[in-house]
Every structure is written in C-alpha cells, then in structure tokens.
Amino acid sequence: MNKLDHSVMFAQNGNGGVGMFVLIIQLAVTILMIAAFWKTFAKAGKPGWGAIIPIYNVILLVDIAGRPIWWFILLLIPLVNIVVGIIVSIDVAKNFGKGVGFGLGLMFLGFIFYPILGFGSAQYRTTS
C-alpha cells in the first residue's frame, strides 16, 4: 500500500463514526417527536397511536387545529402548504392556550416546541 491508500482508508474509517453519531441523533429526535405527538394527540382527545400513522397524523393535527379535514389537501399543494402549515400550527397553539409565537415555533422548530406542548402543562380547549 502506498501513502495515498492509507490516507483514503483512514478517511473512510473516520467518517463511519460521524455517520453513526448522526444516525443515533436522528433516531433519538424521531423517538422524541413520536412521543411528543402521541402526548399532544392524547391531550386533545385523539388517539395517541395516530402519531405513528403517516397521513392520518396530519389529518388529526388539522382536526386539533379546528380546521376542516379537507385542509389536509391544501397541505399537499406546494407553496400553499407553507401558509396552511403556519395557520394550522398557530391554531394548534391557540387551542392549547398558547400564542402566535408558540405556533410559529411549532411550525419552524417543532422538535423543540412539540415536546413542550405534549409534556408540558398546556391543556387542550376548543375555540368553538
């Protein structure tokens, strides 16, 4: 083996540890988000297991926000989904007694704000 082969081998072995670290962090965040959504759904009187069912969890979130279920379709339209996502997040926050800032946090920093919502003292209350 020449000098270049050793440096390539070292670089490949070094990246494996970084990749494994990133994978563990992703797994931890995923588990945290599932638990946070589960608790949030349960607080809102929805089935907690709905947090792990794709599409159904978004439908439940729209329902928790107090919006019509067909708003789920709006979340499938590019660019429109950003505006609708912000509105839904703000409505979810309001239904838990939180403000607009918290709703924006749900939209843009969900991995921080959904655990606060799910595991915190906020209680669900409908606006209607």
Whether 127 maps to a domain, the answer reads no
Neighbours of 113 (CB within 10 A): 23
Number of domains in the chain: 1
pTM greater than 0.85 (yes/no):
no
Q: What is the pLDDT of residue 16?
A: 74
Distance CA(40)–CA(120), nearest Å, equals 10
Whether 114 maps to a domain, the answer reads yes
Whether 63 maps to a domain, the answer reads yes
Neighbours of 54 (CB within 10 A): 6
CB 11 within 8 A of CB 94: no
Show the domain range for 29: 3-119
When mean pLDDT is compared across 13-17, 58-62, 113-117, the lowest value belongs to: 13-17
Comparing 104 with 16, which gets the higher pLDDT? 104
Distance CA(105)–CA(93), nearest Å, equals 9
Q: What is the pLDDT of residue 17?
A: 81
Distance CA(97)–CA(103), nearest Å, equals 10
